[in-house]
Structure 1
Amino acid sequence: MKNDLPKRKPNRLKGFDYSSDGAYFITICTKNKEQILSRIVYDKTVGANIVRPSAIGKIIEKDILKIEKIYPCIFVDSYVIMPNHIHLLLTIDTIRRPMVAPTIATVIKQFKGAVSKEVGMSVWQKGFYDHIIRDDEDYQIKYQYIDENPIKWTEDELYNF
């Protein structure tokens, strides 16, 4: 019997060491892209859209901030908690904090598991998306993308109202 299910494509760059020093842009989506993490609201005092995390979003933020404590050679440079996904900009730096670095997949697996356990339900879709930061310009582009994501929410490919 032929299997008609679509084959899952690998998300990782073949042969790349995901525990090597450098910066990584990560996107993790909610299961079924449910909008349970936050709301994007217009704030008149700021004059722009801002993120209002839900109860689940607050747990996620707490667990994002724990990443550096659990993995001292990993720095959370920036993040945003959107309604149905999060973006993280992580840097592995074993020079400033000498130690064996975990892979990005290990960090994300631990993070997703901790959030789901604390929330009491499965929050995330399988896997995650990554982009290996190639240079300072690439880093600045991703940093700005995270910073501006709430402002441009209705233009986001994950926006699904």
Structure 2
Amino acid sequence: MSRYRRPEIPGGVFFFTVVTCNRRPVFTTDESVNALRAAFRRVRHARPFAIDAMVVLPDHLHCIWRLPEGDSDFSGRWREIKKATSRTLAPQSNTRKERSIWQRRFWDHAIRDETDWQHHLDYIHYNPVKHGHAERPDAWPWSSFRRWQERGAYPHDWGRSEPAEIADMNCE
């Protein structure tokens, strides 16, 4: 069995990609996305962390988290978020006691600096356009883009075309 090495950076900032099982389009309704939101709220209440940005697409999500000082356990948080979402959306399990909502693992990247953070923020917010789910980032309902735009971080017409800084990024 492979042993995955995750970065141990207490208080770190991380980008994540989490994919549904077999890329099945699970998050296509407000109800399913609200189940995911409820799972995030529950886990954040028990084990706090900050979410800088997030986008939920039908078959995957991307987000940037900031962990508290002295805490590096993002894997445990993801485990609890996935379990809580799965219990709500797939109450029946298979013979291995699995619910077919999520892929078993996730992809993580430790954010190195402000430029790396900005590129991943842009990647998250452009993702619905990249995948053909929206014509503009502000048209996708399950994204933090509008919150960032209201703060003045993005001009009104941002994302009408793919930003050059993220054109070669592939975090899927």
Same fold by TM-score, threshold 0.5 exceeded?
Answer: yes
- Name the structure, 1 or 2, with higher relative contact order (CA <8 Å, separation 6+): 1
Shift of residue 101 of structure 1?
Answer: 2.3
Shift of residue 17 of structure 1?
Answer: 1.2
CA contact (8 A) 2:11 2:72 kept: no
Matched positions, count: 129
TM-score (norm: length of structure 1) = 0.69
Structure 1 residue aligned with 2:8: 17
Residue from 76, 81, 91 that aligns with 1:106: 76
Letter in 2 for 1:23: V
Report the 3-state secondary structure (helix = DSSP H, G, I; strand = E; otherwise coil) of the residue aligned with 1:150: helix
After superposition, the CA RMSD in angstroms is: 2.6
Unaligned runs of 5+ in 1: 1-6, 39-52, 95-99
Shift of residue 59 of structure 1?
Answer: 0.8
Question: Which deviates further from its counterpart, 118-127 or 76-85?
Answer: 118-127
Residue from 125, 129, 136 that aligns with 2:103: 125
| Higher helix proportion (structure 1 or 2) | 2
CA-to-aligned-CA distance 1:6-26 (integer Å, 9 cap, x gap): x7573x34xx315x1111011
Letter in 2 for 1:111: I
TM-score (norm: length of structure 2) = 0.65
| Higher strand proportion (structure 1 or 2) | 1
Identity %: 24
Superposition pairs for residues 8-157 of structure 1, below 5 Å? 10=4, 12-13=5-6, 16-18=7-9, 20-38=10-28, 53-72=29-48, 74-94=49-69, 101=71, 103-119=73-89, 120-121=91-92, 122=99, 123-154=101-132
